[in-house]
A = this chain, B = another copy of it.
Amino acid sequence: MRVGVLTGGGDCPGLNAVIRAIVRKGVPEYGYNFLGFRDGWRGPLEAATMPLDIPAVRGLLPRGGTILGSSRTNPFAIEDGVQRIKRNLQNLGVDALIAIGGEDTLGVATQLHDAGVNVVGVPKTIDNDLSGTDYTFGFDTAVGIATEAIDRLHTTAESHHRVLIVEVMGRHAGWIALHSGMAGGANIILIPEVPFDIDQVCRYVEARFRLHYAPIIVVSEGAKPKEGEESLHSGEKDAFGHVRLGGVGEYLAREIESRTGKEARTTVLGHVQRGGTPSSRDRWLATRFGLHAIDAVAEEKWGMMTALRGTDIVMVPLAEATKELKVVDPALYAEAEVFFG
C-alpha cells in the first residue's frame, strides 16, 4: 500500500511532527510506503512529489514549517482538477491520501472523498477555529509566544506611563488573543467576535492609569470597532487600492492617544507566531494526530479526520471540521472580563 501525504494552507508549528509520526508508524507497523506531495494540492494536481521514508523524517519533530511545502492551490477552481488528481494518484500507485490542513485543505479533502478518493484528514489551524476538535496543534505555541511578549511588556508598563498594545493573529476568531491575554494578565482583550466600543476601551485605560499601572491591550488582528471602518487589519487595501499602513493595533494607538492624551505603543507579532519549534504540547498533539491518522488509513476510515476530545484522539467526519467556524463563546469571553480595567 502506498500512502500520499500533503500539507496545505498557512504555516503552523507541528506540521513536520505529524508527517514524522505517520511515517515512523506506517513503515514498520503496517509495511506501507509513502510519497510526499509538494505544496498542498498542487502536489497531486501536478504530480509534484518527493520521497518520504524514515531517513527523510529524521530530526523533524522539533522543526517548524513543513518539509512538504504548502500552497493555497484549490483543485476545484481548476478545470479538470479532480480528474487530474485521480489520474495522478493512479499513475503514481497511491492508494490513499492523508491531507493535513485547515478549512480550505480539508474542504477540498471532503469533496475529493465524495468523488471517490481515499482520504483521511488531519486538522490544522493556528487560530484554533476549526470545529470538531478541542484543539489543533500550533495554537499552544502561538499562545505561548504572545504570552511571553505580554510578560515582557508588564515590566515596561510598570516603569513607564504608556499604553501598550499587542496585535496578535486571529482574523475571524479571538482564541489567541483570549488565551494569551488571560495567561499574560492583559487589562483589555479585544476579539473579532465582540466589536469593541473605543470609548469603553478608553475608560478601561484611564481606570488602569488611576491605579498607577499602565494598561496592556491584546487585540486580534480581526477585531473591529462597533461602528466605522469595516476592517482594519494589515494587508487590507484602502479605498484607493493602496496597501493600508498599520492594522487595528495602530488604529487603537492613534485613537487612544487622541482621546486620552496618553502615549501608546504597538507591538505587531505577525508571522513570528506561526514559526519556530512547536511547544511540547503541540508536539504531543501533532504526533498523536499522525499516529491515529495512519491507523485510520489501515482501518480504511475514509472521509474522517483525527480530533482531540479531552485526552483522547478520535475520528470524526471531515465535514464536521469545516461546517462552521469555531468562534469564542460569549460566556468564555465574559470570564476574562473580570480582569479588565
Question: B183 to A11, Cβ gap below 8 A?
Answer: no
Chain B proximity of A64: nearest CB distance (Å)? 3
A155 at the interface (CB under 8 A from B): yes
Question: B265 to A267, Cβ gap below 8 A?
Answer: no
* Total identical chains: 4
Question: A156 to B335, Cβ gap below 8 A?
Answer: no
Chain B proximity of A328: nearest CB distance (Å)? 11
A 181-199 to B, binary, CB cutoff 8 A, 1 in contact else 0: 0111100000000000000
- Residues on B with C-beta less than 8 A from A268 are 266-268, 270
A283 at the interface (CB under 8 A from B): yes
A153 at the interface (CB under 8 A from B): yes
Question: A65 to B156, Cβ gap below 8 A?
Answer: yes
Q: Would A280 and B70 be within 8 Å (CB), given that A25-B338, A62-B185, A267-B268 are in contact?
A: no
Q: Would A65 and B159 be within 8 Å (CB), given that A270-B267, A271-B265 are in contact?
A: yes
Q: Please report A residues at the B interface, Cβ cutoff 8 Å.
A: 10-11, 13, 15, 24-25, 28-29, 59, 61-66, 69-70, 134-135, 140, 143-149, 151-160, 162, 164, 166, 179-180, 182-185, 234-235, 242-243, 245-246, 250, 253-254, 257, 263, 265-277, 279-281, 283-284, 287-288, 291, 309-311, 335, 338-339
